[in-house]
Amino acid sequence: MNKVIKTYIILLSMLLASILLVGCGTKTIDLAPFITISVDGYSERAVANVKFDYDAFRKVVEENSNKNQIEDMLKLMELNESISVKLSKSEEIENGDKLIATVSWDNEVAKKYKLKFTGSEKELVVSDLKTLEKVDLFAEIAIEYEGVAPKARASVRNASSNAFLKNVSYSLDNNNNLANGDSIKVVANVNIDRAESQGVTFEISEKEFIVLGIDEYVSEYSHIDEETLEKLDKQSRDIIGSELADRYSSNADLYPENLNWRYNHDSVNIKSIDLYETYFLNVKAGANTTLGFANANNAIFIVYKVTFTSNVTEGEEDVVYLPIQYNNIIKRDTGAIDVVITNGMLSRAKSGNYDNLYRDIVTVNKANYECEEISHKQ
């Protein structure tokens, strides 16, 4: 072997040794083992997080590095900050989802400390998450009514035995002055996050309900059935007969235009009691019911034409118009008409002059009541 070739071989061997020494000085670290994917919550609502274990990473770096390569904490911080991890999905996680954590780094920083990183991804297939129980917040509530429409009141009773639902409170957007057909909104006072933390979920937290099945004040004369009208007619005639049989009150009833008379009638002979006119009054929305009819939401005045003779008229026939008044006629939720007929009374609106009687019943009350007039004149 000549001297030139021998020199070339020696130089080549030295170069290869130098390359090997440099290669041996670079340490490879797999970053995947330092990545942890965690999932917390219920399926479809779970939250995923990804964490890089920098403490464990630091120990591995120190074990695979010369002391002069990691001289102080500032150098380690630079290395840590060059590494970042991202998660493919972090919210509304459900069973079956594949989560991929992707790690990235700065190669220049790694080379600076004679390191090489691998392991760019880590996967997790989600399983074993518990499922939220879907509940209907309104399935076991009862809306209860008090009073009579259109002035009924509503409240909500929670009848649930479910561990979560029984502690839910409810409120109404409108719970006064209710009538059948009105709409009321029931609101469940519950927080969705709190519910899910207890393992339940729901779709709606408020619901509209239609008011039905409550007693209501009769609003039209036509709503009163014939059987009830017959009972009222019989009771009214009995009231008139009883009033006129009273020796000490009949003069005011028979001669209202002259209330100064104080005769004791030894005899009143009723010749006829004829149904003459009926007035049905129904209170207007928001009007005062205390004027005229003593808190009457409705009232019916049945007017009779009474023909009679008495010792005052010395046997001559006289005529008086007597109205019998009934207040607060109710239609029950069964459809039956309810009126306390024994509460019927001879109205104070009575006069020998029919125009005055009409004024007292109808005209002075028009501001607060709608009035129907039903004629029975022959």
Of the residues 125, 156, 179, the one at which a domain ends: 125
Structural contact between residues 325 and 345, judged by C-beta atoms closer than 8 angstroms: yes
Same domain, 97 and 68: yes
With respect to residue 21, please indicate whether it lies within any of the assigned structural domains. Answer: no
Q: List beta partners, residue 338.
A: 330
Q: Report pLDDT digits (tens) over 309-325.
A: 877 666 688 888 999 99
> Which range among 18-22, 155-159, 245-249, 337-341 has the greatest average pLDDT?
155-159
Same domain, 224 and 368: yes
Query: From the centroid of its chain, how far is CA 161?
Result: 20
pTM of the model: 0.64
Between strands 35-40 and 345-346, the pairing is unpaired
Same domain, 95 and 231: no
- Give how far Cα 202 sits from Cα of 93, 140, 157, 194, 225, Å: 18, 14, 19, 12, 47
Question: Is residue 153 over pLDDT 70?
Answer: yes
The terminus-to-terminus CA distance of the chain in angstroms comes to 155
With respect to residue 114, please indicate whether it lies within any of the assigned structural domains. Answer: yes
Same domain, 233 and 192: no
Q: List beta partners, residue 201.
A: 134
With respect to residue 8, please indicate whether it lies within any of the assigned structural domains. Answer: no
Range of the domain at 121: 27-125
Same domain, 33 and 166: no
The answer to whether the Cα torsion of 145, 146, 152, 158 is positive or negative is: negative
Q: Report pLDDT digits (tens) over 63-121.
A: 766 565 555 567 788 888 999 999 999 999 999 999 999 999 999 998 888 889 998 89
Mean pLDDT of the chain: 84
Residue among 261, 239, 202 nearest 343 (CA): 239
Same domain, 269 and 359: yes
Categorize the per-residue pLDDT at 59 as very low, low, confident or very high, splitting at 50, 70 and 90. confident
The answer to whether the Cα torsion of 55, 61, 64, 66 is positive or negative is: negative
Same domain, 360 and 342: yes
Same domain, 272 and 187: no
Residue among 211, 219, 215 nearest 338 (CA): 215
Of the residues 214, 230, 264, the one at which a domain ends: 214
Q: Report pLDDT digits (tens) over 214-269.
A: 999 999 999 999 999 999 999 999 999 888 876 555 555 565 555 444 455 557 78
343 DSSP assignment: G
Q: Report pLDDT digits (tens) over 21-36.
A: 344 568 899 999 999 9
With respect to residue 73, please indicate whether it lies within any of the assigned structural domains. Answer: yes
The count of domains in the chain is 3
- In this prediction, residue 124 carries a pLDDT of 94
Same domain, 90 and 152: no
* Cα separation, 95 vs 317, whole angstroms: 98
With respect to residue 10, please indicate whether it lies within any of the assigned structural domains. Answer: no
Same domain, 328 and 339: yes
* Cα separation, 191 vs 377, whole angstroms: 67
Please report which residue ranges of 188-302 form alpha helices under DSSP H.
192-197, 226-245, 250-254
Question: Is residue 3 over pLDDT 80?
Answer: no
Of the residues 214, 238, 266, the one at which a domain ends: 214
Q: Report pLDDT digits (tens) over 171-204.
A: 999 899 999 999 999 999 999 888 988 899 999 9
